[in-house]
C-alpha cells in the first residue's frame, strides 16, 4: 500500500500540467524547481537533525520522499499559476494548503501509510518551515520576473473581480 501511494504522489500529479497554458506554465518553472531544491535541502537537514524519517520511497533516494518530486512541485506551480503576482492570494492559498498538508494529509495519510514518521519536529514546526519556504519562493519569483513583461493579473484575482460584489449606487 505504501509503495502504491508513493508512486501515486510521484507520477500522476505531473499529468495535471497538461491542462495549463504552456507560456504561463513556463513562467513559473524556475520557482517550481526552487521548490524541489529547497525541499531536498530540508530533507537532508531533517536526516541529520532527525526532524522526520522517510521509511518508504520509490526513488533511489533513501531519505527523500518521492512526494518532493511529484505532488509538491505541481501544487506549487498551480498556486503560482492561479495566484501570482497577488501576494495576498498567494500567501492565503499557501497557508491553507500547507495547513491541510501538515495537519491532515501528512499525519492521517502519509504517516499512517508508513511513508515516513515524525522525529523531533512537530507538525506545527513543519508548517512554519513550509511557510518560510513559501515566502522565499514568492520573493525569488518576484526577483526573477523583475524586468520581464508578463500579464500581471492572477486568474483567481480576475475571477474574484468578475463576481462583482459591489452594488451600483442608486
Residues 111-160: pLDDT tens digits? Answer: 888 888 999 999 999 999 999 999 999 999 988 887 666 666 666 777 67
- The answer to whether 71 touches 17, Cβ cutoff 8 Å, is no
Contact between 81 and 157 under an 8 Å Cβ cutoff? The reply is no
Residue-range definition of the domain harbouring residue 106 = 1-164
| Residue 23 included in any domain | yes
Nearest to 64 by CA among 87, 46, 85: 46
pTM above 0.75?
A: yes
Q: Residue 90 in contact with residue 147, Cβ under 8 Å? A: no
Q: Identify whether 73 is part of a domain.
A: yes
Q: Position of cell 513562467?
A: 27
Instruction: Tell me whether residue 120 is in a domain.
Output: yes
Contacts of 11 (CB under 8 A, 6+ apart): 70
Residue 158, domain member (yes or no): yes
* Number of Cβ atoms within 10 Å of the Cβ of 101: 20
Cα separation of 128 and 102, whole Å?
Answer: 10
In a domain, 169, yes or no: no
Count of domains for the chain = 1
pLDDT on residue 147? 62
Q: 69-118, pLDDT tens digit by residue?
A: 989 999 999 999 999 889 999 999 999 999 999 999 999 988 888 888 99
For residues 36 and 73, is the Cβ–Cβ distance under 8 A? yes
Position 59 pLDDT exceeds 80: no
Residue 170 forms part of a structural domain: no
Rounded to the nearest 5 degrees, what angle is found at the Cα of 106, between the Cα atoms of 102 and 108?
A: 120
C-beta of residue 64 within 8 angstroms of C-beta of residue 45: no
Asked if residue 76 belongs to a domain, the reply is yes
Amino acid at each position: 500500500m505504501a509503495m502504491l501511494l508513493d508512486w501515486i504522489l510521484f507520477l500522476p500529479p505531473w499529468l495535471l500540467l497538461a491542462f495549463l497554458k504552456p507560456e504561463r506554465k513556463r513562467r513559473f518553472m524556475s520557482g517550481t524547481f526552487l521548490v524541489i531544491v529547497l525541499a531536498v535541502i530540508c530533507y537532508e537537514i531533517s536526516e541529520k537533525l532527525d526532524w522526520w524519517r522517510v521509511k518508504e520511497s520509490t526513488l533511489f533516494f533513501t531519505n527523500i520522499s518521492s512526494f518532493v518530486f511529484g505532488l509538491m512541485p505541481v501544487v506549487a506551480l498551480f498556486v503560482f499559476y492561479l495566484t501570482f503576482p497577488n501576494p495576498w492570494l498567494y500567501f492565503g492559498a499557501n497557508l491553507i494548503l500547507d495547513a491541510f498538508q501538515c495537519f491532515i494529509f501528512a499525519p492521517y495519510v502519509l504517516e499512517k501509510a508508513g511513508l515516513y514518521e515524525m522525529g523531533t519536529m512537530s507538525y506545527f514546526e513543519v508548517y512554519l518551515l513550509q511557510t518560510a519556504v513559501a515566502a522565499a519562493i514568492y520573493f525569488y519569483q518576484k526577483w526573477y520576473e523583475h524586468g520581464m513583461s508578463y500579464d500581471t493579473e492572477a486568474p483567481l484575482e480576475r475571477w474574484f473581480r468578475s463576481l462583482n460584489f459591489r452594488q451600483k449606487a442608486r
